[in-house]
Amino acid sequence: MQGQGRIGRCGHSGITHKSAFQAEDKFRRNNNAKQRLELWWMAMKNRGLDIYLVFTLSWFLHFGGRFPILGAIRFDLILVCIMSAIALSKTKDSTLPPTDTDKVLRVLIVYSVLTIPFVEWPGSVVKSGILNLIKAIVFYYFTVAFIKTEADLKKFVFVFLTCQVLRVLEPLYLHITEGYWGNSASMADWESLDRLSGAPDDVVNANGLAFIICTVLPFLYFLGGGSWMRRLVCIFLIGVCMYTLSLTGSRSGMIGLGVVVLGILLKSKHRLILGAVFTVAAVIGFSLLSPDMQDRYLSVVGKGEKNAATSRERVEGMEQQIHVALRRPIFGYGLGTSPEANFHYVEGGPYVGMAMPAHNLFVELAQELGLPGLVIFLFLIKSILVGFVKSRRYVQGREAGIFLPKLIDGMQVWLAMNVVFSFASYGLSSYEWYLFGGLSVVLQRLASKDLLKRVLNEDGNGVRSVYGQ
């Protein structure tokens, strides 16, 4: 019996040691898995910019539509979720104070959410309005979170501009090879005018394609210096973009082009020469257009015969949409409900019974967010403008040909063009203004660092010269 007791105790002890070993092994495996997860997360945090660049490519080139498998798995949404987690973790570690743009954007978001119970169609806001705004606002937060150095900024600008250039070249290629137009406009006597729009896999109409071209042009001009090969490529692309713009038949695009040209002239040291070149190019280019296309562009100044009526209709339709906005001036109809509001409440003019957003950013804002929301957005635009002015002041002393001053010049011209273009297009839930805001914050941050570095270098040289004496 004693032997049995010893055997029993030894057996029990063996089981105990075995359980302890299994528990220790399980703990070691869990610990290794945790370490691997932490290492993976650190690697993902370091790859935040790369993921953002992939997202930029996918967003602007519409990978989800071009590649069904990516659309099926909601590729863009997966990237947004990953980047949001990374950005939030970086925000916790950040010690930088919020900028004016950041503060105003927060007010806009909070106002848009808090006023949902008071708008006319809160269901539409919850279903699509807030979601579309979030899709646009992420460009601000991701830009601020992931672009930390001048090298990062160069990568992003290159990817962004490449996407926009491809969006211009694709429909032009289809037009040349297959006779593709994609859009048309009505003229007098029941005639129509073919207009080149974005490619079939893109989501922009003719005016949207014109906006893309006006976006690309200032950067091709200001960043086109350096090697002769780069200059040659940029000159060629500028010519291609100008030709493509002429095919869009976009009157707002031509006005935007005028703003771009004016901005370039104001920033140039050779205004007379450039002005003469632009004038000759405009005269030759206009003479090569078809009579109907010439008539359409002349209608901008009220001289077209076949297209003047549609120009007047745009003004009449805008007046009606302003009346719709004034029907609910405090809280508006809700985010994303401009088409609904115009469908139900436009009482006259060419847009009666049409579910289309107001073709004016500021009217769209007044319709969807009311006059207080319009004021908040105007403060957002002001903060972005001030940010670019500060950035330019910081880099004022840098020699010509350096990346940051040239980029800031291009951004300022693009910003001016976008302000003017906003009077002829909607854009509250579009990416442009939020990307503007993000880049203005990044440029301020980089330009201020550059200024501090130059001041310290100058002080250091001064100190060395004093002690050298």
Residue range 315-324, pLDDT digits in tens: 888 999 999 9
First CA to last CA across the chain, in angstroms? 101
Residue range 273-283, pLDDT digits in tens: 999 999 999 99
For tokens 């450039």, name the residue: 274
Quote the DSSP letter at residue 312.
H
d(C-alpha 330, C-alpha 375), whole Å: 11
Average pLDDT, integer, range 42-46? 60
Q: How confident is the model at residue 33 (pLDDT cuts 50, 70, 90)?
A: low
Answer whether residue 3 shows pLDDT above 90: no
Residue range 88-105, pLDDT digits in tens: 887 665 666 788 999 999
| pLDDT on residue 31 | 62
Residue range 337-368, pLDDT digits in tens: 999 999 999 988 888 888 899 989 999 999 99
d(C-alpha 114, C-alpha 295), whole Å: 48
Helix (H) or strand (E) holding 289: none
d(C-alpha 461, C-alpha 457), whole Å: 6
Residue range 232-271, pLDDT digits in tens: 999 999 999 999 999 999 999 999 999 999 999 999 888 8
Residues in the chain: 469
Say if residues 444 and 144 touch (Cβ distance below 8 Å). no
Measured CA to CA in angstroms, residue 354 lies from 45, 150, 328, 351 at distances of 46, 46, 19, 5
Mean predicted lDDT score pLDDT of the chain: 85
State the number of CA atoms in the 13 A half-sphere of 195 facing the CB.
26
- As to burial, measured by CB atoms within 10 angstroms (0-12 exposed, 13-18 middle, 19+ buried), residue 186 is middle
51, two tokens: 């993921």
| pLDDT on residue 185 | 83
| pLDDT on residue 17 | 59
Q: How confident is the model at residue 9 (pLDDT cuts 50, 70, 90)?
A: very low
Say if residues 311 and 296 touch (Cβ distance below 8 Å). no
| pLDDT on residue 469 | 39
| pLDDT on residue 323 | 94
State the number of CA atoms in the 13 A half-sphere of 335 facing the CB.
25
Query: What is the longest distance spanned by two Cα atoms in the chain?
Result: 118
| pLDDT on residue 395 | 75
| pLDDT on residue 466 | 34
| pLDDT on residue 30 | 61
Provide the percentage of residues in the chain whose pLDDT is more than 70: 84
Answer whether residue 412 shows pLDDT above 70: yes
State the number of CA atoms in the 13 A half-sphere of 21 facing the CB.
6
Least Cα distance to 411 among 263, 291, 277 occurs for: 263
pTM of the model: 0.85
Residue range 172-203, pLDDT digits in tens: 999 999 999 998 887 777 788 899 999 999 98
| pLDDT on residue 348 | 84
Average pLDDT, integer, range 6-25? 56
